[in-house]
Structure 1
Amino acid sequence: MGTRDRRRGAGPGRYDDLMREAAHLYYLEDETMEAVGRRLGQSRSSVSRMLKAAREAGIVRIHVSDVETTSGLSQDLADRFEIRAHVVRVQEPLSEAARLDRVARFAAEALPEWFGDGMTLGVAWGTTVSRIIAHLASHPLEGATVVQLNGSVSPRTTGLAFGAEQVSAIARAFTAEMMPFPVPAFFDFPRTREMMWQERSVQQVLECQTRTDVALFGVGSIHSPMPSHVYASGYLDEADRRSLATHGVVGDVCTVFMRADGSWRDIAINMRASGPTPITLKRIPRRVAVVASPAKAVALLAALRAKTITDLILDSATAQSLLRQADRESPPRARAPM
């Protein structure tokens, strides 16, 4: 009898068996929800409900500490940067897409541990957040809000769909109120942004952002084999790119650009950016960055130096690359003679 026929047999015992099989495929065999659904003859939403039921029944127990590497990388990062670090085990060699998928899956499972009833989640759109959404199961909350942290309109397209759809998808997963931010990612002129910030509709979003309890974002990198959306999708013209090079920019957080030392204030394009500055981000109690690329080590180190991160989710190779980069730029001091 095939799996599709088994699930038609309906009884509680049958459903428990199907739930366990879905949990095994998703958590132990690294299948996506879509792949699990195809194998079990179920929709993605049905698989999501099964996984939620498996967690509630205690069949699946998720502990952030369980996915740390045995080498103590998480503790090394925590000690070095004064953050909470969550290092995801991955088996090398691994493609950049597969690496991102593994880390995004962990982030999707960890997020409900931090975002609860009555809280506000701030989301900065991007490729990483898109992959997190692909693994995000349903976690109904009461009185929760999901707010977009940076605008997504670009000169080539409206860009509204990309940013707003990500916020909408996360809001649906948590049955939360959605607060989009329908402004450009980058204004043409600083004065235009100043005027827009005076609009009541925009002030409503900005005020909601000030109530954010948890922020979720990726780290963009100028030099990455898997380009961040802001660099690959028409948000920057040639003049912008020349300006970034002139200023020595290595990456961005929430579309605010930074140098390797974490400085950002005098970078011209940031005067036109719609995303929160590091100063604004630091007012948010928990700031979760999700990074899955060793090539992003320089940009990630800049983000850490700017104090934009309290919780870092990354894979073991990226963690090692980050520590090596930090050692190269700040070699440990030699011990004084005894």
Structure 2
Amino acid sequence: MGVDGEQDVLRAAAMYYLQDMKMEVIARHLNTSRSTVSRLIKRARATGLVEITLRPASSRAPGLGQSISSTFGISTYVVPVPDSAEHIERLEQVARTAAKLLASWFDSDMVLGIAWGTTLAAVSRNLTHKPTRGSAVVQLNGAANNRTSGIEYASDLISSFGAAFDASVHHFPVPAFFDFPETKAAMWRERSVRRVLDVQRRADIALFSVGAVAGAVPSHVYAAGYLDDDDTRTLHAEGVVGDICTVFMRADGSYRDVALNARATGPTPEELNRVPRRVCVVAGDNKVGPLLAALRSGVVTDLVVDEVTATHLLQSVSARDAAGRVTRKLGTPVRGRLGWPGDVQ
């Protein structure tokens, strides 16, 4: 569609949604048919020019988001959902919101880092096409394990983000965990691996979720053969509650001395902190503990979370969390989008 056609889409949408004009009246203004006006309005919704959001009057989302933002010094986007919503419904609502936010942030000449997982797969299903130029999408952690290469799963996921933004795609053809730390150290010296690591270091946005060790809906890394029984027992013995990019964390956000992390291929929180925008997408009661650990580690700059999970998160927040973030809150402006639930104005 040319410039004139795009202008017609804009004019039709403005008259229909902002001026409350009927399609017949719009058709006369544009000297066209009612069916054409209907198509223009549908195109405005499909391309994201018009976004329709329902916000229940009883929603706790704005207050929840403000509380999380002020406690942890981050931008928070709380997605309203009914208390009775099933896990899959909460996940889809959060994924849809995350996909829209990502499209508003990611643009030409930018690099997007993606950590694979169930939540990110849901985000990928809700992406809409946004053409960019000179952009890249890079896989943040390896996917192979002792049961499967993991290539098809991770490749399809990463490629879907590349296709959505017309971006070049950089896969990371290494296992999720090496058998020995020495093997990882040797592989990290290989030029083919260093090339991908260099792209990761240039990321403008990192998109990830948190994995939960326990819960009714296990995270992909714990359910798909990435860990053997000895690994799982070790994680429990070391007090691990979950992971970010397959790097395991305790409830207090510590991770450096967790033995299995020496074999993990994902970026550590310290390495992720070099990325300007670090977006964590979370839905599910079993994710509250890992999410709190991630927030305590300081690795998150933007959080997209459903209303129920956000409520449980705040119930888990300690006085230490509230006090410990004061310095960071005063020293670092909280970023956000004007008018979005949870933005700190």
1:296 CA displacement: 1.4
2:197 matched residue in structure 1: 206
Q: Are 2:138 and 1:147 aligned?
A: yes
Match of 1:247 among 238, 245, 248: 238
1:236 matched residue in structure 2: 227
1:181-220 correspondence runs (5 A)? 181-220=172-211
CA deviations on 1:295-333 (whole Å, 9 max, x unpaired) are 211110101111110000001111111111113876879
2:259 matched residue in structure 1: 268
CA deviations on 1:262-316 (whole Å, 9 max, x unpaired) are 0001111100000000100000000000000122111101011111100000011
CA deviations on 1:15-45 (whole Å, 9 max, x unpaired) are 5425646xxxxxxxxxxxxxxxxxxxxxxxx
TM-score, reference length from structure 2? 0.79
Q: Helix, strand or coil for the counterpart of 1:72?
A: helix
Q: Are 2:271 and 1:280 aligned?
A: yes
1:98 matched residue in structure 2: 89
Q: Does the aligned pair in 1 maintain the 2:78–2:304 contact within 8 Å?
A: yes
TM-score, reference length from structure 1? 0.81
Q: Are 2:291 and 1:300 aligned?
A: yes
Structure 2 alignment gaps of length 5 or more: 1-31, 325-345
Q: Are 2:8 and 1:17 aligned?
A: no
1:51 CA displacement: 4.1
Deviates more, 1:71-80 or 1:121-130: 71-80
Match of 1:86 among 71, 77, 90: 77
Cα distance between partner residues in 2 of 1:238 and 1:12:
66
1:160 CA displacement: 0.8
CA deviations on 1:110-165 (whole Å, 9 max, x unpaired) are 10111111000000000000000111010110110000000001110010111121
Q: Does the aligned pair in 2 maintain the 1:51–1:137 contact within 8 Å?
A: no
Cα distance between partner residues in 1 of 2:65 and 2:258:
32
AA in 1 matched with 2:66: Q
Q: Are 2:117 and 1:126 aligned?
A: yes
Q: 1:161 to 1:331 in 2, by over 3 A?
A: same
Cα distance between partner residues in 1 of 2:37 and 2:221:
44
Q: Does the aligned pair in 1 maintain the 2:240–2:249 contact within 8 Å?
A: yes
Deviates more, 1:304-313 or 1:319-328: 319-328
Q: Helix, strand or coil for the counterpart of 1:181?
A: coil
1:182 CA displacement: 0.6
AA in 1 matched with 2:87: E
Q: 1:227 to 1:117 in 2, by over 3 A?
A: same
Cα distance between partner residues in 2 of 1:301 and 1:311:
14
Percent of residue pairs identical: 45
Cα distance between partner residues in 2 of 1:104 and 1:325:
23
Q: Does the aligned pair in 2 maintain the 1:164–1:181 contact within 8 Å?
A: no
1:2-41 correspondence runs (5 A)? 13-14=34-35, 16-18=37-39, 20=41
Match of 2:98 among 93, 104, 107: 107
Match of 1:174 among 158, 165, 180: 165
Cα distance between partner residues in 1 of 2:159 and 2:261:
26
AA in 2 matched with 1:306: S
AA in 2 matched with 1:14: S
Superposition RMSD in Å: 2.5
Deviates more, 1:173-182 or 1:91-100: 91-100
2:154 matched residue in structure 1: 163
Cα distance between partner residues in 2 of 1:85 and 1:204:
33
Q: Does the aligned pair in 2 maintain the 1:122–1:209 contact within 8 Å?
A: yes
Q: Does the aligned pair in 1 maintain the 2:112–2:205 contact within 8 Å?
A: yes
Cα distance between partner residues in 2 of 1:125 and 1:278:
16
Q: Helix, strand or coil for the counterpart of 1:323?
A: helix
Cα distance between partner residues in 1 of 2:34 and 2:260:
59
Q: Does the aligned pair in 2 maintain the 1:294–1:319 contact within 8 Å?
A: no
1:224 CA displacement: 2.3
AA in 2 matched with 1:17: S
Q: Does the aligned pair in 2 maintain the 1:52–1:138 contact within 8 Å?
A: no
CA deviations on 1:161-199 (whole Å, 9 max, x unpaired) are 111211101000000000000100000000000000111
AA in 1 matched with 2:199: C
AA in 1 matched with 2:219: S
